Structure 1
Amino acid sequence: MIRLLRPLALLAGLLLTLRPVAFADEGMWLPLLLKQLNEKDMQKKGLKLSAEDIYSINKGSLKDAVVQFGGGCTGEIISDQGLLLTNHHCGYGQIQQHSSVEKDYLTKGYWAMDRSQELANPGLTATFIVRMEDVTKQVLAGIAPGTAEAEREKQVQANGQKVAQAAIQGTHYQSFVRPMFGGNEYYLFVTEVFQDVRLVGAPPSSIGKFGGDTDNWAWPRHTGDFSIFRIYAGPDNKPAAYSPQNVPFKPRHHLPISLAGVKPGDFTLVFGFPGRTNEYLTSWGVDEIYSVDDPARVKVRTALLKIWDQDMLASDKVRIQYAAKYASIANYWKKWQGEMRGLKKLDAVQRKRNQEAEFSKWVAADPGRQAAYGTLLADLQRNYTQERDYVLARAYVSEAAFGVELLKFANAFVPVADLIAAKAPAAEVKAAADKLRTGIAGFFRNYNAPTDQKVAAALLPLYADNTPAALLPEYVKSLKAQNTNAESWTRFAADLFAKTRLATEAGANKVVDDLLAGNAASLTSDPAYQLASAVQNTLRAQIQPTYQAAADNITLLQRSYVAALRQWQTSRTFYPDANSTLRVAYGQVAGYQPADGMRYDYYTTLDGIMEKADPTNPEFEVSPRLVELYQKKDYGPYAVNGTVPVAFTATNHTTGGNSGSPVINGRGELIGLNFDRAWESTMSDIMFDPDRVRNIAMDVRYLLFVVDKFAGAGHLVKEMTLVGTPGESPKAPAVKKVKVKVKS
């Protein structure tokens, strides 16, 4: 939520006007190409290192301190004993798995006071990039121009697999090949994947999630969004499965931590694994997101989150069960709202149309370009028009129909039923059923059927009413005819949950037993399975084929469009869209002006936490221990001008996946932990706006203060390499004395 500024913030804003105007720096750059494309510009803006210091395969470099944390975040190594820092929201799932009503680490936090207390996390990995290489020629070898997209992709996958396997033969490394620029180029990534990653420390939610959904995607921000893990390795320092005999990993490089602080104009480098951007879409692609996909998903999630929130507030058990799921769903729910808002403010669709008009003039000016690109835009428009209803239908299947957890769970039984119907060998059926059974316990550990029944009553009518009629299963059409208001859908949901056996762990296991005994009717007669299979069958038979055909055509045409853009805009330095591969973004510390009459300074402090404190609102509760430290001004060496810095903004181009990324200064030292973007910046996944794009980072001094003074885990700080002396950030305006109320 964007809040109007208080007089204090207005004064800070006036001070900001005296500083040079800062513009965001667009680009998520491949580290391999920094020497060629970015080194001089980065050094001009304050980098004291060389490109070789950032990415090297011959010596330890910054890349060797950066990992992909799990499958969707970034982490960084901050000690020579494998200590790993990432966001609290990135480690949230692991913290939840270790939590219970009796041991509520989500609420109270967790700190391992010695190595024996560090908690294992089965399935969690930390992935280093060993090296990357341009392998475009090898991947595209033997693929003729004009090859159909499906056949081309098959050949690309085969060639890429050969390249990847050859690169790691005889080693313990892993590898993969990823497309860049829509498949005009391909890069090999060789990785080292560690499997023993243990939880070391996490602050309480009152710090790690301070501000909750209200402050999410917003500035000013006061969240201590961090958690600490440790990578363990075998005796040879190589990846190994969990074992009590494993030892802390010794990295090639770890990041020193700066106490010097930040000021406007300071160079910032964000190193991480950004997930996905679509910077080169046409106007039809942008409009599809803005007008179709985002609105549908926001509409459904609004209803879902309201129900989850009510039940989580009513029960500690449900709160813990749904904590990670809620956070994940809510994060993108609010992000998409900001994205739509930003795209509207930029008039993004019209700006893309204007670009396409200029592009068409460039094409028309040359016969060769006319032959290559003359119908390109018209073909893209036709395919986007063709898939529009199917995009909407897919959104309502995934968000509404399978937003009901029971139906999503029942859908997992479909492959087993398909094997039985096809009279597959008994051994094959058993293997599929056994695999299904292994997921049952995990599902029910974080599932509450009464909550899901309420969700079904709310989401099923949204699915029935908003899916294009031609793409709605006949079974659901009949339900829609029978249930014409909220009360009747509520009765239907109650009846569904009363009759299904898939809403309990015992019932689901009994269905698996029946399947293995040859009793397929135990599943096929179940009402939850019947509804889920109707949705899934319609998706597979009616929705997905047409959608996929149009999407494949768009992929092929988009590849040509990106190639043409690079040929046309010769003065522009292009970067590939994010695709969860290691990237560098660089910029500078800066405040910003998101809207008329609003100016935000570049930093927040502990004083702001105390101003926001509200014991009646769980999102803004403040720990009594933090209040005690604040009142005593017991800040240790982490204070600046009588308070503790909490967060700052900079102009780096970031997206999902950059959560947990290190924010590094010009000397290669850690100054912050990236955890968010300003709400006005979320459209930067699609269209970049240098005036408004700001990433939000937790100041590393707040991390040190919480670990050392709040948690009493100074042994962790002693592991780290602290450099510099506490900086003299611009003196904040005088702050009125704050009387803090906390829960007793």
Structure 2
Amino acid sequence: MTNCKQLALALLLGLSSLSAWARPDEGMWLPMLLKQLNESDMQKKGMRLSAEDIYSINKSSLKDAVVQFGSGCTGEVISNQGLLLTNHHCGYGQIQSHSTVENDYLTNGFWAMSKDQEKPNPGLTATFIVRMEDVTKLILGDIPGNLTEAEREQRVTANIKKVQYGATNGTHYGAIIRPFFYGTEYYMYITETFRDIRLVGAPPESIGKFGGDTDNWMWPRHTGDFSIFRIYAGPDNKPADYSPNNKPYTPKHHLPISLAGIKPGDFTLVFGFPGRTTEYLPSQAVSEIVDISDPAKIKIRTMRLHLLEQEMLADPKIRIQYAAKYASVSNSHKKWIGEMRGLKKLDAVAKKKDLEKQFAQWVSQETGRKSTYGHVLPHFDQNYTILANDITLTRDYYQEAALGIELLSYAQSYLDLAELIQKGNQTEQQKADIQAYIQALLEAAPAYFKNYSQATDKKVFASLLEMYAIDIADKYQPVALTKAMEGKKFTWAGYADKVYGPSNLVSLEKVTALLKMSPNAIKTKLLADPAINLLQSFNTVYYTDILPVFNQLTEQNTLLNRLYLQGLREMQKDKKFYPDANSTLRISYGQVEGYKPTEDVTYDYYTTLEGLIEKADMTEVPDYKIPKRLRELHVTRDYGLYALNGKMPVAFIASNHTTGGNSGSPVINGRGELIGLNFDRNWEGTMSDIMYDPERVRNISLNMNYLLFIIDKFAGAGHLVQEMNVIYPKADAAPVPRKEPVEARHKDNIFKTKKKTKQEE
């Protein structure tokens, strides 16, 4: 009987392991490991490249055309003159920074008709990955196993610094070392960062943000979400600070663009820098997200968005000031709504619990497993129970409500300055540090106040503080807020007046006058400032009562997650595990396909300009307004050589596993050609950061046919298309004579299109 039970359990675990196999569509894979983990699967799905064509340190490869754009998006090089493509929403801040009421590039678009019209963007960077390296032994090799998590982290941090220094000393390269699988593995990325990035082109918002917040995270989609920049380099083709003498960067590889069209089942590869996923969380953590954290953050941001929208509709200046801020707040807000709903629909908590039951059974089979893993699940229960007792909720309200008020978040830097002065202003080094800090604040202030409305912020202040006062337990209320509420004539609007009126941090004039005082006078003024006092009161609660508990439990949960995932990998030996995203270069692959959001609805895999026009015609929603020029091109069917079968494709979906950070990622076909620009996920699939559902998760991409159509036919910037290596459906379909034939221009591409067999055709 015992043998029968053991056999049944073994079969159960075997079946569960098979069912847990990641589909080729699921996963964010390390480029350097594609040969051993993914190449065969990818080629079965239609990829004609080798793993080395994608990632190589010996020759140019796809990785050499992909950059981390700024600190949170992806971009790709599409010409031998450093032309860089990314999303409109990724370049939004730069477009906004060049916009004024008189020259509103957000509304009207911007196109540089020559290189001397391209606009520099101080602080914007484009970072290439030179190579990857497994440095696990170098980071963990000398660390004993009996250290506390904090002690281990100190040793790890020291080792990381040592390895980074050894890898980059004497070079212009950087090095990023990140933990994988909760710190059981470490990989180093050697980077090359370019600092002179100029804006080349952007469509008007009515194209680049078509659908706006109404369509954000949604499918079907018709958004022309792209912007174009150019990387400039010094005379040696290496990174350099901005100079009018810099030259366009000559890349190791740039992506050719295919306009041949797509069809269901076509292979798709997404290359980029996905930000953060947590696929291996225990059930308790998923429950916390679904029941506590997401609902709280959604509630707070709903109020912020409502207030900002009212102000932006009432004043064109505020609309420009808050356009990027509103988009940022809205993006996560809508994502969390979809994530929460998706996890509930998947019954994610129950699925996690089922896996934990299997894990517990597996652990119970051997004494060694019990001693290593037996405490993991019970300790998860204990820790998340503590977090659920107002710790998580208060943390979210501090970050979203208190710091969602611009005055309080801005005040943090000035509180830091006051504390720096208070520590000492005697030695030459102390004086130099203080002056450097003051100078940095002075230099940053004009840009900050350019996009700040005191009246708007006061309304946000009153509403968010009222929410905090109502929803957070009495023991976590800041003293300053409690005392203010005791006044007999207290109102939230009146309280805002009392804080903003005397504060020195609400206008450029006040801040400038403050920072020109002596350090001691600055300190005195700041420590008496009502905004600083309120922030200090919030910080006291957060840093005394919330963060220490949260950090302690997070530290414990990190170790538990490490052990849990280690055990899962041991239990499911046949499963290919991929590491969670952590803003490092990754590959995801899948195929073009539609999906069913509900039982009675089926979505196709593509959208067209005809569908866009229908949206624009059927409603007065501002998000669906379109430029007159676009409508004219549609009416006359003046699509040039970018249409397919008489129609203009706009966007398409595929089953690639993506997340934030993949915005702007290239979508590449099986031949290594650019076919799309990733810009979003479907709402039903936003839970893929936590649990992937192959039936519903889809990434949304802009079709390159539409992108080039907008550049050429809409904007009249065909000179940019001439820079690109465009592969047209027919060899003789080039729109205008080129300096060299398409075949010659294609020689520098490392990928040669294979001759099709009859069967392939």
Do both share a fold (TM > 0.5)? yes
RMSD between superposed Cα atoms in Å: 1.6
User: Could you say what secondary structure the match of 1:187 adopts?
Assistant: strand
Distance (whole Å) between structure 2 residues aligned to residue 429 and residue 98 of structure 1: 32
In structure 2, the partner of 1:441 is: 446
DSSP-derived class of the 1:269 partner: strand
Moved more, 614-623 or 662-671: 614-623
1:512 aligns with 2:528: no
Distance 2:587 2:52 in 1: 13
Alignment partner of 2:550: what SS? helix
| Distance of 1:284 and 1:478 partners within structure 2 | 37
Q: Displacement, 1:160?
A: 1.1
Distance 1:726 1:659 in 2: 31
Q: Which amino acid aligns with 2:411?
A: A
Is contact 2:415-2:526 (8 Å) kept? no
Give the distance between the partners of 2:643 and 2:341, measured in 1 at CA: 37
Q: Supply the distance in 2 between the matched residues of 1:483 and 1:325 (Cα, whole angstroms).
A: 36
Q: Secondary structure at the match of 1:636?
A: coil
Matches for 1:284-363 after TM superposition, within 5 Å: 284-363=284-363
CA–CA distance in structure 2, aligned partners of residues 360 and 470 of structure 1: 38
> What is the match of residue 662 of structure 2?
658
User: Residues 594 and 129 of structure 1: is their aligned pair in 2 closer, same or farther, counting only changes over 3 Å?
Assistant: same
How far does residue 517 in structure 1 lie from its aligned partner after superposition?
4.5
1:242 equivalenced with 2:242 (yes/no): yes
Distance (whole Å) between structure 2 residues aligned to residue 237 and residue 661 of structure 1: 24
Residue matched to 1:392: 393
Is the contact between residue 211 and residue 223 of structure 2 (CA under 8 Å) also seen in structure 1? yes
Partner in structure 2 of residue 180 of structure 1:
180
Q: What is the aligned partner in structure 2 of residue 478 from structure 1?
A: 483
What residue number does 1:415 align with?
A: 416
CA distance in 2, matches of 1:424, 1:392: 39
Q: Which residue of 1 aligns with 2:612?
A: 609
2:14 matched residue in structure 1: none
2:685 aligned with 1:684, yes or no?
Answer: no
Q: If the length of structure 2 is used for normalisation, what is the TM-score?
A: 0.91
TM-score normalized with structure 1 length: 0.93
Does 1:430 pair with 2:435? yes
**For residue 755 of structure 2, what is the aligned residue in structure 1?**
none
1: CA distance, partners of 2:148 / 2:27: 31
Per the TM alignment, residue 328 of structure 1 is displaced from its structure 2 partner at its CA by 0.8
Q: Could you tell me how far 1:73 is from its partner in structure 2?
A: 0.3
Query: What runs of 5+ residues in structure 1 fail to find an aligned partner?
Result: 1-21, 728-744
Instruction: Name 1:200's counterpart in structure 2.
Output: 200
- Check if 1:649 corresponds to 2:650: no
Q: Give 1:397's aligned amino acid.
A: Y
Q: In the alignment, is the contact (CA less than 8 A) between 1:259 and 1:726 conserved in 2? A: no
- Give the distance between the partners of 1:345 and 1:240, measured in 2 at CA: 50
Distance change (3 Å), C-alpha of 1:521 and 1:108: same
CA apart distance, 1:511: 2.7
2-structure distance, mates of 1:333, 1:597: 27
- The aligned residue for residue 561 of structure 1 is 564
Distance 1:381 1:241 in 2: 52
Counterparts of 1:102 and 1:308, CA distance in 2: 23
Question: Does the Cα contact within 8 Å between 1:110 and 1:203 map onto a contact in 2?
Answer: yes
Q: CA deviation at 1:333?
A: 0.4
2:28 equivalent in structure 1:
28
Q: Secondary structure at the match of 2:658?
A: coil
Residue 634 (1) aligns with residue 638 (2): yes
* 1:537 maps to 2:544: no
Following the alignment from structure 1 to structure 2, what is the Cα–Cα distance between the partners of residues 146 and 306?
Answer: 52
Structure 1 distance, partners of 2:530, 2:488, is 16
1:23/1:691 contact within 8 Å kept: no
CA 1:279 to 1:519, structure 2 compared with 1: closer, same or farther past 3 Å? closer
Q: Which moved more, 1:547-556 or 1:501-510?
A: 501-510
1:82 aligns with 2:85: no
Which residue, 668, 671, 676 being the options, matches 2:672?
Answer: 668
How big is the shift at 1:480?
Answer: 4.1
1:499 lines up with 2:527 in the alignment: no
* CA distance in structure 2 between the aligned counterparts of 1:628 and 1:418, rounded to whole angstroms: 61
Answer yes or no: is the 8 Å Cα contact 1:297–1:333 preserved in 2: yes
Quote how far apart the aligned CAs of 1:297 are. Answer: 1.0
The count of aligned residue pairs is 704
Is the counterpart of residue 451 in structure 1 residue 466 in structure 2?
no
Residue 498 of structure 1, CA deviation: 2.1
Q: Helix, strand or coil for the counterpart of 1:647?
A: strand
Contact 1:217 1:676 in 2 (8 A): yes
CA shift for structure 1 position 616: 3.6
The residue aligned with 2:577 is 574
Q: Indicate yes or no: 2:470 matched with 1:465.
A: yes
Contact 1:514 1:520 survives alignment (8 Å)? no
Q: Which amino acid aligns with 1:92?
A: Y
Stretches of structure 2 lacking an aligned partner (at least 5 in a row): 1-21, 732-761
Any conservation in 1 of the 2:421–2:520 contact (CA below 8 Å)? no
Q: Distance in 2 between matches of 1:575 and 1:188?
A: 17
Whether the 8 Å CA contact 2:24–2:41 is kept in 1: the answer is no
Q: Identify which range, 575-584 or 503-512, moves more after superposition.
A: 503-512
Deviation of the 1:482 alpha carbon: 4.4
Report the alpha carbon displacement of residue 300 of structure 1 after superposing the two structures with TM. 0.6
Q: Distance in 2 between matches of 1:506 and 1:534?
A: 26
The corresponding residue for 2:17 is none
Counterpart among 711, 722, 726 of residue 726 in structure 2: 722
**Is 1:705 aligned to residue 706 of structure 2?**
no
Deviates more, 1:439-448 or 1:355-364: 439-448
Per-residue displacement from partner, 1:621-649 (whole Å, max 9, x unpaired)?
Answer: 11000011001100000111222100000
The 1:376–1:225 alpha-carbon spacing in structure 2 relative to 1, beyond 3 Å, is: same
Quote the residue 2:42 is aligned against. 42
Q: Distance in 2 between matches of 1:113 and 1:514?
A: 47
The 3-state SS of whatever aligns with 1:321 is helix
* Contact 1:67 1:128 (8 Å CA) reproduced: yes
Decide whether the 8 Å contact of 1:24 with 1:693 is kept in 2. Answer: no
